[in-house]
Structure 1
Amino acid sequence: MNIVRKPVAFNLDDPDQKELYDHAMKRTNFSAYIKRLIQRDMENGNAPRMSAPSLSHEFDVSEFI
């Protein structure tokens, strides 16, 4: 079986991301939900609208170096 996993991270300290997480967790099958969103995007040719990331938290680039 050829399966690829693509994890999604939610920063629960960011109110916008917490809202997305809470909404997604209402679904019984997260993977199927995400796949349906991707399919809908492909069929409509529209990218999902997302708000700008919250800048209320400092960003430390040293975590990436």
Structure 2
Amino acid sequence: MYKYVMNNRGGSYLLAISLLLLTTFFATYFVFSYESQIKIYNSLEFANVRATINLLEEIGSK
């Protein structure tokens, strides 16, 4: 295995695998970051809608 990694083809293979893993890591990181932002925006929107409904109920009861 050591001789295979040390020749040109083995080094290229090792470099390709490491770049694939690195790219996969960053892609999953950005996907999870985007999903987290979407969840935050949805929760803020829900809170604003709930506050608006409460305000309208308060105005309607007067």
Q: Give the TM-score taking structure 2 as reference length.
A: 0.29
Relative contact order, CA 8 A, sep 6+: which one is greater? 1
Higher-Rg member (1/2): 2
If each structure's helix is expressed as a fraction of its own residues, which one has the higher value?
2
